[in-house]
Structure 1
Amino acid sequence: MTAPTRSHPELTPDHAATVRATLPAIGAAIDEITTVFYRTLFSAHPDLRRDLFNRGNQAQGSQPRALAASIAAFATYLVDPALPHPAAMLARIGHKHASLGITAEQYQVVHDNLFAAIVEVLGAEVVTAPVAEAWDRVYWLMADALIDLEKRLYIDAGVQPGQVWRAVTVIERTDDPAGPAVFRVRAVDPAEELPGFVAGQYISVGVRLTDGARQLRQYSLIGAAGDGTLTFAVKRVAAAPGCPAGEVSSWLHERVGTGDRLEISLPFGDLTIDPDATTPLVLVSAGIGVTPMVGILEHLAAHDPGRPVTVLHADRRASEHPLRARVLALVERLDNVRTEFWYTEDTHRGRLDLTAVELPGDADVHVCGNDRFLDTARAQLRAADVPDARIHIEQFTPTDWRR
């Protein structure tokens, strides 16, 4: 199976009919397919699990679910173009890949192991030659779209594909009272001065752990842009049932201070604000999900203090609200701002309920928090008749596109 040529950018009618007929069976088995896929991929390429894939997400199963859901969502759109175009899904994946330095050659490795897993799970009697050919085309249509997007991202960043990593020195570390460690970094090589960024973007941070693995995590940028430094906050992820302790967050908290060196990527991320827009903003967060909102507030305070903004945050108590003092200081620099905090153990307000909050009808709403909070917030915003096009969800864990 090889990539289709660019002269055939869509499914043929026969391919579409085959995909439509087999989508229920493949969809029903796709979690098992991707479990087998990752097992065989890491068996053949152990360096990928050690040095590229998030071992915590693998342990929880969120990474396999994300891959499965993205392919199923893309195939569903191909056979029913009346559905919304999966551009947002592709953009999210493409930016994540660019922040990891993914290149076009790696898609062939994924392809070969994925199709071997499909045959293993469903059997050769189901995955006939026409079925394999049709789903092969689905994969490469999606892969080609991502490869093209990632090439454009690398061009915009002024680098060759995959060459996104920079050696940096920590010039300041502060520890927020609520727990996060805040790192401000500068390029080791003055010739590779760190670029500016758009509010809402993130970087990847790579660390070499004691077992030799190079693990990568993404952290939202929270400082002012354009001074040759980048600032990000790291919450230490504690172990919980079904969720191991965060390897990278623990390493950063325990081992990294002022003067130490790190490896970071250039900034990426598509869930950003339009700096030229004048429409109201609504920033909704819970826990460490406040970090991209801080980046947005930093931009507004420096460049657009008159833009209407509503800041809504939920936490258990004020003492656990990450970067609370920083948020309040930024809010003081804005001219048209409304702020409401919900602390379930400090007050009697209960949990944040967006259906009870007066939201501007033309507002762009940015939401970030844990998975359960995001699902609840999305449902509440829809119940409040906020159009999906105005809801921008930032999710720290791999996204299940079937939700």
Structure 2
Amino acid sequence: MQIEDIKINLANRKEFLEDNKNKMFNKVAIFDVNGFGNINHYYGYDFGEKVLKIISLRLENRFLNSKIYYLGADNFAATSSAEISKDRFIQTIKSIVWYFGYSPIELEGYKVYIPLRAGVAINYPELLFSAEFALKQTKIVKHNLVIYDSEQHHICHPNSLSIEQDLYWEAQIIEAIRKDKFEIFVQSISNQFEKKYEVLVRMKNSKGEIISPYFFINRAKKINLYSEITKKVIQKSFEYFENKNIEFSINLSISDILEKDVVDFLIQKIYEFDIAHFLTIEITESEGIDNLEELISFIKIMKNLGTKIAIDDFGTGYSNFSYLVRLQADFIKLDGSIIQDLNRTKTAKAVVEAIVFFAKKVGIKTVAEFVSTKEIYETCKELEIDYFQGFWFDEPKNVKELKKEI
């Protein structure tokens, strides 16, 4: 029989939801084909459709005592009733994940590996909800299998409150993006000669309360909406600082810089507002710079446009002096945790002294973050740091308040 003649004769998503509603099973595994989009793009959609058919046959052949469903796109589900033991169900899933990971599909002269990720839930009142959450967790914990078993807490047991919190914040972020509920705040970066500002983002929740990025930034990254927030910040900050002749900085993560859509948007807005010579891009160094060549290319583009570059949180993560020269940074922002320890430990002071010494040698300006007391400020001046930022000078404020100062 030709592959073209094979149909995906599995129960569909509608049947799956109906069976779940009728409590037809007490165990469920939801499978996601990891990187299936790449197969479609590289080999073509017809090839991808054939691969899905083979996957459905493989699952049917190995799950002899379970019902298999095709949920659409690249998602499948396997369910089992109480008659089948939990251990047997889990063992089958582990075998499936291993088999797909090490046994390529051979099709039309190609060998294609099809790694699966699986989220499993056993004996939960909200079975589907827990299985979908388990599948999400596979990306976070970087493991191809996450099992939520109501009886085996040591395997993995989802906290209902944490699930509820994640869903709440996802809804808040989506609503904020859709209804444009992000606002820009600023904090000064100054010395005795000049003052500029760092742009910070805040979000309004459904009650109109201002929310710190601590609560939504990482969650936005998990649901792939972080780049939308970055674009909001670019648009709003450029609109505010247009024609004000004031230097300001915005933060970009490494993931932003590797996102073509974000970089294209940034370049477009730099041209539109003609603001490059007042703009500094702060790159969060602590995330790790694994894509150094791509980052260098981005920095060259920005510098050619006339922007400046700052390496944020220097002193943590992948800190080393060698790539600073390659990055051609204009500023180093010293990590706040080190600055706060300046007067507490000799080590912190020695680290800052070394960074400042190097920066002066290569012509890079330094900025001390988290300058929260007069004592810290005096020590920073003693160490000849160029700029200061922190609560000793001012707290982040809405740009609406800043209008009174400029």
Regarding TM over 0.5, the answer is: no
Higher normalized contact order (CA 8 Å, seq sep 6+, divided by chain length): 1
Q: Which has the larger radius of gyration?
A: 2
